[in-house]
Homo-oligomer: A and B are copies of this chain.
Amino acid sequence: MPEIINISDAEDPRVAPYRDVRERDLVGREGLFIAEGEVVLRGLLDSSGHRPLSLLIAEKRIGGLADLLERVPADVPVYAAGQAVMDAIAGFPMHRGILGLGARAPGVAAADLLAGLPARALVMVLVGIANHDNVGGLFRNAAAFGVDAVLLDTTSCDPLYRKAIRVSVGAALQVPFARLGAGEDALDVLEAAGFTSFALTPSGTLALAQVRRPARTAVLFGAEGPGLPAEIMARCAGVRIQMSAGFDSLNVATSSGIVLHHLAEAIA
């Protein structure tokens, strides 16, 4: 059990990174992120790349978190505060009672990430997914169905936004990801690494049930509404999820769950 450092003043500079965490998503965070809740914190402690820098825990929860605290590295301070001080620091009622400050893993080039994957690998590619809930949901599904890595284009939002991490139930800290550079073409990078790419689109000529998964498979998801750019769809096989004639509309995270569940089982 690490030493617990008691915080009795919300203005204590040691907890400054936790101050007003809801606003903090909107400003530059210089490689830091906030992880909320017990399950997410466990994910941070399990992460091979991202590192915990400190924890802030409501006093009343310390006793119930003994096994989690055992796994906190010795050089990571654990702060404890009463609920009122904790709420004052966070800027809203912190019912979850446990926050962590993390440092993100150094960025990795998409090509390098792909090169390090096993011969049989599944990659998810996000194009223009700007909604934090959706990015969180996509990562949650990626983890549930064994996706080896995620690539994001320049317009997709950061998976380490507080809300995206929370919605992902920590998966954003566990599934490796890389952001494509401004001039980098997702399909070129994937092809060079031996990946066969599928584009999810309502106009796809392949029904999902027909798709068998090659050894190295990538699946691309675009935002609801605009969908994937025509330029991408013209260059890879389009896959559709068969829906009712009168209501052909799915949330993108739900779509990813359906597609990844199929691919997890449909190994060619």
Asked if residues A144 and B257 are in contact (CB atoms below 8 Å), the reply is: no
Q: How many copies does the complex hold?
A: 2
Residues in B with CB closer than 8 Å to A247 are 143-144, 171, 174
Asked if residues A264 and B242 are in contact (CB atoms below 8 Å), the reply is: yes
Q: Which of B241, B242, B254 contacts A253 (CB 8 A)?
A: B254
Asked if residues B209 and A243 are in contact (CB atoms below 8 Å), the reply is: no
| Minimum C-beta distance from A249 to chain B (A) | 5
Q: Which of B140, B251, B258 contacts A261 (CB 8 A)?
A: B258
Q: Please, how many angstroms separate the alpha-carbon atoms of A174 and B243 in the complex?
A: 15
A contacts with B, residue count (CB < 8 A): 30
Residues in B with CB closer than 8 Å to A140 are 249-251, 254
Asked if residues A244 and B146 are in contact (CB atoms below 8 Å), the reply is: yes
A248 within 8 A of B: yes
Q: Which of B143, B174, B243 contacts A144 (CB 8 A)?
A: B243
Residue in B closest to A133 when the chains form the complex, CB atoms: B133
A67 within 8 A of B: no
Contact with B along A193-212 (1 / 0, CB 8 A): 00000000000000011000
A137 within 8 A of B: yes
Q: Please, how many angstroms separate the alpha-carbon atoms of A246 and B140 in the complex?
A: 12
Contact with B along A168-206 (1 / 0, CB 8 A): 010100100000000000000000000000000000000
Q: Which of A28-70 contact B (CB under 8 A)?
A: none
Residues in B with CB closer than 8 Å to A209 are 265
Q: Which of A226-249 contact B (CB under 8 A)?
A: 241-244, 246-249
Q: Please, how many angstroms separate the alpha-carbon atoms of A181 and B28 in the complex?
A: 51
A141 within 8 A of B: yes
A255 within 8 A of B: yes
Whether A145 touches B244, Cβ cut-off 8 Å, given contacts A140-B250, A140-B251, is: yes
| Minimum C-beta distance from A255 to chain B (A) | 7
Q: Which residues of A contact B (CB under 8 A)?
A: 137, 140-141, 143-146, 169, 171, 174, 208-209, 241-244, 246-251, 253-255, 257-258, 261, 264-265
A-B contact pairs, 24 of them (CB 8 A): A137-B254, A140-B249, A140-B250, A141-B250, A141-B254, A143-B244, A143-B246, A143-B249, A144-B243, A144-B244, A144-B248, A145-B243, A145-B244, A146-B244, A171-B247, A174-B247, A208-B261, A242-B261, A242-B265, A250-B257, A253-B254, A255-B257, A257-B258, A258-B261
Closest 4 CB pairs of A and B: A254-B257, A143-B247, A144-B243, A146-B244
